[in-house]
Amino acid sequence: MFNQIKEHRMKKLFFLIAVFGLVTFLNAQVRLSTYYNYPLLTGGTYIDSVLNGLKSIRGCWFDQDLDGDGKSEILVTNYNDLGHVHVFEVVGNDSIELVWTSPKVTTGGGGSTPRYVITGDLDNDGKKEIIYQINNAGIFIFEWDGVPGSNNFGTQPSQVINSTTLPEMTGISGNTEYMEIGDPDGDGQNELLVFYNSSPNSNDKFYIISAIGDWSTNDPGFSGFQAEYAKSRIDLTAWDMNGGTPYSMHIANFDGQGNPELLFQAWNYKAVTPLRVPAANTYVEADTTTGKQSLRLSNADDVALFGGGTFDIDNDGRQEVYLPNYHSTGSDYIGCIHVIHYPPGSSTAQIDSTNVFVLNFVQAGVLDPGLVTFGFGYGDIDKDGKPNIYTSSTYGVTGCNVVTAEFQGGDKTNPANWTFSKLYPGDPTIYTQRVIRDSLGMIDTVLTIDNSFASKIYGRYTDIDKDGFEDIILPYQALVDSVIHKSIQYNANTGQWVTTDSAKVPNPKRWGLRVIEGTTGTGVEVKDLTIITPDDYKLYQNYPNPFNPSTKISFYLPIDKKISLKIYNQLGQVVKTLINDQVYEKGNHELVWDGKNDAGKPVSSGIYIAQLRFGNYSKEIKMMLVK
């Protein structure tokens, strides 16, 4: 079902550390700290065609340590090649390494999926998993093999949630924009909260799924799944979920007591409804007898397109759910985030207008009129002790990629207790078109700014390089490969503009993934970071070749790395182990093979393969021994 990706190419990142002086956060701005230039399709390798999809990263995730080696990982989604997930690991030495790419699917895939990726431990065995959804295939689960530092999540899914493993999942076409994993019913077993945007409407469902049994890397074993909750939008008509597609499910302890509650959202005037979780595997919809079982957050058909998130902004023990707004025509909530909360004494069995307030970034003057809010995050990036809510958008006119609302204390529902500012405007020099106009000898240049947008940002007091300074990860969608350079001249006789020259050149700022970092002090430091891929590891042709009786084998490592170097015969049998899972320093290395096997006996003439293995990847050369 899967083909494994074998080779990758090196890409560069650059690190700009934004430094804050003794000024208020209102006047401070975070600068770009890291960016990733995705490869063009001209590289000629398979991985170039795959990684070219990182011009449109819809979802990203961060894990403090996915494989038990103390290093952080960033995970991103990729639509290309029927859909992939990539894992980048912070490896030190100012470097990030691409350590795993999900295998290619041979059935299903496509349909602009995967759109989101998370990590968790759904089978509760202490080994983390990578979880994402693929169109017409299901929800894939790749489990770590349990070996610290291996970055090995398999070459095929450990398990797949589909209509075979979960009969309640009646449709696997379509997509899901958002998922959460946790233990909302307090039974000591994790659950996956996921919705499906499928067809027909009866297959648009909200699911709460738990695991039965245990799987392992590449092996489902005797595991399966249980649907603790599975209802379609039609089933939830009384709760206003049938008017549109399911769009997010959130775990939040609204009242600060017992098990947390859940919040469902549908693309139906941004309708939301709460569910209570009184006991294990028990999920109770809101009370319909009061007429307050659901609430439409907008007067227009808006939605939190990429979901939202849960936080406790005032640390009162009662969490809120924050829902950015992808607005429709005529909406009164352009550039807003709706905040769902429950004041002391209010019932979580219902929801009405007293349970919502709005953060309006357009009204505050930090988001251009007409722009939507996409992503959600939280933290304290300026280290002033006041928590911030982050959201993302397009560049717009004035630069609005990441904006923030900082809570000053007091009543969180009072707009006066929030301070709004632009956190990262974006780059105004990323263009889609450059037009030189010649109007009767008067020449000017018109530049069209790229309006790609930061999508499902990740910022939750995140520190990717563990340097004590907060980072926000920004995946971008809709970046262009090329910039159009055009010359036009005005023809006074016809009254029309005539194109005299036109060409496409590679976009030098193909920044599909960016990171911003806040620090303290003054000024801006520049620091180079490198993304290391398997192509940066070099295994050179042996010398001499052909050889008798010995030959030199040289290789280059871009970072300190645990490696193996073995000699194989043409039957794939190990003849000689020169290096066996040993850590070698960054740089060039050379070894001599004396033409003998592990038993110390000379081998016969023939073709031999030298294999350098590093992590999940390897490189090989052919050698000829002639006696």
Of the candidates 93, 147, 141, 148, the one whose C-alpha atom is nearest the C-alpha of residue 117 is 141
Residue 544 lies in a domain: yes
> In whole numbers, what is the pLDDT of the chain averaged over residues?
87
Number of domains in the chain: 3
pLDDT of residue 449: 64
* Contact between residue 367 and residue 373 where contact means Cβ atoms under 8 Å apart: yes
Q: Using the 8-state DSSP alphabet, how is residue 602 labeled?
A: B
| Domain stop point among 165, 197, 232 | 232
**What is the model's pTM?**
0.86
* Contact between residue 58 and residue 37 where contact means Cβ atoms under 8 Å apart: no
* pLDDT digit string, tens, across residues 75-107: 999 888 888 999 999 887 557 788 999 998 988
Beta strands 282-285 and 295-296: pairing type?
unpaired
Same structural domain, 69 and 184? yes
* pLDDT digit string, tens, across residues 316-372: 999 999 999 999 999 999 999 999 999 999 999 999 999 999 999 999 999 999 999
Q: Which residues contact 145 (CB under 8 A, 6 or more apart)?
A: 127, 152, 153, 154, 216, 217
Residue 89 lies in a domain: yes
Same structural domain, 34 and 119? no
Same structural domain, 83 and 19? no
Instruction: Give the burial class of 305: count Cβ atoms within 10 A of its Cβ; 0-12 exposed, 13-18 middle, 19 or more buried.
Output: buried
Residue 311 lies in a domain: no
Same structural domain, 97 and 26? no
**DSSP-derived secondary structure for 136-192:** TTEEEEEE--S-TT-----SS-SEEESTTT-TT-----SB-S-EEEE-TT-SSS-EE
* Contact between residue 304 and residue 284 where contact means Cβ atoms under 8 Å apart: no
What is d(CA 157, CA 136) in angstroms, rounded to the nearest whole number?
15
pLDDT of residue 349: 98
Q: Using the 8-state DSSP alphabet, how is residue 48 labeled?
A: H
What is d(CA 185, CA 261) in angstroms, rounded to the nearest whole number?
9
* pLDDT digit string, tens, across residues 498-546: 888 777 776 666 677 888 888 754 322 333 356 787 888 999 999 999 9
* pLDDT digit string, tens, across residues 584-617: 999 999 999 999 999 999 999 999 999 999 988 8
Split at pLDDT 50, 70, 90, the class of 52 is: low
CA angle 261, 263, 265 (to 5 degrees): 175
* Contact between residue 367 and residue 449 where contact means Cβ atoms under 8 Å apart: no
> pLDDT exceeding 90 applies to what percent of the chain?
65
Same structural domain, 181 and 193? yes
* Contact between residue 600 and residue 577 where contact means Cβ atoms under 8 Å apart: no
**DSSP-derived secondary structure for 545-575:** SSBSS-EEEEEEESS-EEEEEEEE-TTS-EE
CA distances from 76 to 29, 177, 301, 344, 477 (A): 26, 13, 29, 39, 12
Structure tokens at 417: 């207790």
* pLDDT digit string, tens, across residues 551-568: 999 999 999 999 999 999
* pLDDT digit string, tens, across residues 124-154: 999 999 999 999 999 999 999 999 999 999 9
| Domain stop point among 185, 200, 232 | 232
Same structural domain, 63 and 183? yes
Residue 206 lies in a domain: yes
Match 């429950």 to its residue by tokens: 342
Q: Using the 8-state DSSP alphabet, how is residue 381 labeled?
A: T
- First vs last Cα of the chain: how many Å apart? 44
* Contact between residue 461 and residue 472 where contact means Cβ atoms under 8 Å apart: no
Same structural domain, 94 and 6? no
pLDDT of residue 321: 99
Residue 101 half-sphere exposure, CB side, CA atoms within 13 Å?
30
Question: How many residues are there in the chain?
Answer: 627
Residue 96 lies in a domain: yes
Structure tokens at 352: 């009405």
Residue 328 lies in a domain: no
Same structural domain, 546 and 601? yes
Residue 552 lies in a domain: yes
Same structural domain, 104 and 65? yes
Same structural domain, 409 and 550? no
pLDDT of residue 119: 99
CATH number at residue 119: 2.130.10.130
CATH number at residue 568: 2.60.40.4070
Residue 215 — φ and ψ, nearest 5°? -110, 175
Of the candidates 94, 108, 178, 107, the one whose C-alpha atom is nearest the C-alpha of residue 136 is 108
Residue 319 lies in a domain: no
Same structural domain, 473 and 602? no
pLDDT of residue 530: 66
pLDDT of residue 78: 87
Q: Comparing 495 with 301, which gets the higher pLDDT? A: 301
Please check the confidence at residue 242 and state whether its pLDDT lies above 60.
yes
Same structural domain, 208 and 83? yes
Q: Which residue range forms the structural domain that includes residue 456?
A: 1-49+361-426+452-480+508-535
| Domain stop point among 182, 202, 232 | 232
Q: Comparing 430 with 569, which gets the higher pLDDT? A: 569
